[in-house]
Structure 1
Amino acid sequence: MHCAVFMVVTISYFFWTDAVNHYNKDENKALKYLIEPPVYAEIKARRGENATLPCVLRTVPSHYRVKWSKVDSLNTAAKNIVLISNGHEVKHYGTWQSKASLRRMHALDISLRLTKLELQDCGLYQCELINGIDDEGVTITLSIEGVVFPYQSSHGRYKFTYFDAKKACAEQDATLATYTQLYREWTDGLEWCNAGWINDGTVHYPILNPRPSCGKDLPPGIRSYGPRDKTKEHYDAFCFTSTTKGSVFFVPGRLTFLEAEHACKEKGASLALVGQLYSSWKFLGLERCDGGWLQDGSVRFPIITPKKRCGGVPQPGVHSFGFPKKTISSYGAYCYIVINDH
């Protein structure tokens, strides 16, 4: 642990986050045409579901356009346009055509409807009314319900650059977590003594029980190294995943890695990714006391209710045996199979 690195107090990051959420908002300007969302400033959904981001007109101008944009989490001045409408026709941008539309439940409704949500759809969205000098907008946060997990390279601790970490998470059916996602997981009990990248290029680690080996006497919280060099510095990663189209099941035995691959294939499945195992543990209640191979060569087991006979692990979670030699015949297999919708 690079203990000499300056630690940022957790609460300061909340002030920064709050500033981002109101990045382009004139607090002294009363909205004339749009209604500020009184309740639904944050919409929560799971991957694969649909979501509606509410935006309602107070009154309809004679001539106007509606623009929905997604704010870039790494550059709050940049906005990715989702769609623009003049009230009659809608123009989509990028890949949004297949998943974004205006809900239009009534004449005042300009809410954004998103279908088949993906992990990268979470973030801040802005609904803007473009009406000459009377332009105004409101912001809505879309949160994807999921789970954050720490991830290390098979070569050991602190091996990922920022871009390596981003790739490693994607390979495990996940994305780099946001600070908000990491904070929520910490409130649910996540504790990890190794520092890891998150999506904005900063590095953190969550601590519930301060101890000499983890930052000495600093208070509990999300301890931060702040922004780091994305190409030269190396840390672990905090990945985020959500629900999947399939589920994970366990095949018992004393198998090598190759035998585990074959056992899953025989059942019409494949070795699970780490994100898929976490998803089944979080959303489907998967619990198993036995270690099993995963596709990345690691061996893990998911626990919901800690038991003495399960290694005496005191906390629920997906626990790891690391990356054993693949020729060792000591573990079962966690297989992933897609559930047929029909």
Structure 2
Amino acid sequence: MNFHTLLLISACFFACVTADFLNNKVEAKDLKYLLEPLVFAEVTARRGQTVILPCVLRFKPAHYRVKWTKIEPSSFGVENVVLITNGEAMKRYGSLGPRASLRRAHHLDVSLILTQLQLEDDGEYRCQLINGIEDESVAVTLRLEGVVFPYQSPRGRYRFTFLDAKEACAAQDALLATYKQLYYAWTEGLDWCNAGWLSDGTVGYPILHPRPACGGDLLSGIRSYGLRHKTRDHYDAFCFTSPNTGTVFFILGPLNFSEAERMCRQESAELARTGHIYSSWKFQRLDQCDGGWLQDGSVRFPIIDPREPCGGTAEPGVHSFGFPNKRNRLYGAYCYR
């Protein structure tokens, strides 16, 4: 064995031992001031609800601060502080601040209460204790129950820039989905060939059943194109919405688009948005064979139990007739109130 070979082996061994030592050192680190939230490391809730993100002290240092921060999805280098307290006074920050407070169930409790949850509240939060130069933290994930749906421009496939996709989802009572939300939807059965923007600027699509039209023999999963240019590249969108307090109901046609709008107004309602009908299908089990106008000019119908009279569709879901001519008097109306 020559000298260079021996040197290479030694370097590799040292690197592996060092990495293993550092990993074990991190894993072995004990929390001195905070309790790890072993039971409630992930909290699940719905839009509009109040939620408690747990954080409990082991004991109170003489002088300390607790800082709650939303750390994921990231704010592109900007620390998204929610509140800071020194055990007596408390200061709130940002858009979350007015809805944030501490539970204080006992003298060691610094759990975060968030009220009137909104779609953008989904993500990971950090409870950080600062005591002089000592600093330790625990993380809690807030996962909003919701539904991810693919969304396409009325002008056709792959017409959205990143900003267009964000605006399109917002117009449908939704946000651009995160990768985690798309992955969770894939585990629940979302299978879609067209690529769409996600909130981090990446593009991908979820596949359960590989087929020639969807990438051939590539494995099932989230197929990602990675980061794409936000103004030059064009794709569809994957939107995320969560249940709200409203109700979707159907008015029988035939109606054209203007008549559908008028009929909903007569019922003290408005034409439903795409996010409304997906949420009602997912969480209120809305099942209606008839195509109906929605606010964006599309015609869709939600199916829970596929059956022959409902177009012979084989899969449950919200099915689309696209964006037909608004003068056509062929459909009913889905209204939201």
Q: Which residue of 1 aligns with 2:69?
A: 69
Q: Which residue of 1 aligns with 2:212?
A: 212
Conserved 8 A contact 1:52-1:113:
yes
Work out the CA distance in 2 between the residues paired with 1:77 and 1:53: 23
**Is 1:280 aligned to residue 280 of structure 2?**
yes
Conserved 8 A contact 1:71-1:78:
no
What are the residue-to-residue correspondences of 1:235-314 with 2, within 5 Å? 235-314=235-314
Work out the CA distance in 1 between the residues paired with 2:309 and 2:192: 23
Conserved 8 A contact 1:34-1:58:
yes
Which amino acid in the other structure matches residue 326 of structure 2?
K
Q: Which residue of 2 aligns with 1:22?
A: none
Work out the CA distance in 1 between the residues paired with 2:299 and 2:74: 34
1:226 Cα deviation after fit? 0.8
Q: Which has the larger radius of gyration?
A: 2
Task: Provide the secondary structure at the position in 2 that maps to 1:135.
Answer: strand
Which amino acid in the other structure matches residue 186 of structure 1?
W
What are the residue-to-residue correspondences of 1:303-342 with 2, within 5 Å? 303-337=303-337
Q: Which residue of 1 aligns with 2:7?
A: none
Conserved 8 A contact 1:68-1:128:
yes
Work out the CA distance in 2 between the residues paired with 1:321 and 1:246: 24
What are the residue-to-residue correspondences of 1:216-227 with 2, within 5 Å? 216-227=216-227
What are the residue-to-residue correspondences of 1:22-171 with 2, within 5 Å? 26-75=26-75, 77-171=77-171
1:76 Cα deviation after fit? 6.8
Identify the range of structure 1 (28-37 vs 255-264) with the bigger mean alpha-carbon deviation.
Answer: 28-37
1:212-269 Cα distance to aligned partner (Å, 9 max, x none): 1110111111111111111110000000001112110000011100010011111111
1:178 Cα deviation after fit? 0.9
Identify the range of structure 1 (293-302 vs 67-76) with the bigger mean alpha-carbon deviation.
Answer: 67-76
1:96 Cα deviation after fit? 3.0
Q: Which residue of 2 aligns with 1:5?
A: none
Work out the CA distance in 2 between the residues paired with 1:77 and 1:262: 47
Task: Provide the secondary structure at the position in 2 that maps to 1:66.
Answer: strand
Q: Residues 28 and 75 of structure 1: is their aligned pair in 2 closer, same or farther, counting only changes over 3 Å?
A: farther
Work out the CA distance in 1 between the residues paired with 2:84 and 2:42: 22
Conserved 8 A contact 2:82-2:100:
yes
* Structure 1: stretches of 5+ with no match in the other structure: 1-24, 338-342
1:309-328 Cα distance to aligned partner (Å, 9 max, x none): 11111111111000000000
The alignment-based identity, stated in percent, is 63
Q: Residues 154 and 76 of structure 1: is their aligned pair in 2 closer, same or farther, counting only changes over 3 Å?
A: closer
1:70-110 Cα distance to aligned partner (Å, 9 max, x none): 11524575421100001011101123342100100001100
Which amino acid in the other structure matches residue 149 of structure 1?
F
Work out the CA distance in 2 between the residues paired with 1:88 and 1:26: 32
Work out the CA distance in 2 between the residues paired with 1:181 and 1:331: 32
Work out the CA distance in 1 between the residues paired with 2:270 and 2:289: 20
Conserved 8 A contact 1:82-1:92:
yes
**Is 1:175 aligned to residue 175 of structure 2?**
yes
TM-score, normalised to structure 1, is 0.89
Work out the CA distance in 2 between the residues paired with 1:97 and 1:200: 24
Which amino acid in the other structure matches residue 262 of structure 2?
H
Task: Provide the secondary structure at the position in 2 that maps to 1:136.
Answer: strand
Q: CA RMSD in A?
A: 1.3
Query: Which structure has greater helix proportion?
Result: 2
1:197-221 Cα distance to aligned partner (Å, 9 max, x none): 1111111111111111110111111
Identify the range of structure 1 (319-328 vs 177-186) with the bigger mean alpha-carbon deviation.
Answer: 177-186
Conserved 8 A contact 2:69-2:125:
yes
Which amino acid in the other structure matches residue 105 of structure 2?
M
Which amino acid in the other structure matches residue 42 of structure 2?
E
1:123 Cα deviation after fit? 0.7
1:2-58 Cα distance to aligned partner (Å, 9 max, x none): xxxxxxxxxxxxxxxxxxxxxxx9544321000111121111100000110000101
1:183 Cα deviation after fit? 1.1
Q: Which residue of 2 aligns with 1:231?
A: 231
Conserved 8 A contact 1:72-1:79:
no
1:193 Cα deviation after fit? 0.6
Task: Provide the secondary structure at the position in 2 that maps to 1:224.
Answer: strand
Work out the CA distance in 1 between the residues paired with 2:238 and 2:59: 45
Work out the CA distance in 1 between the residues paired with 2:300 and 2:320: 4
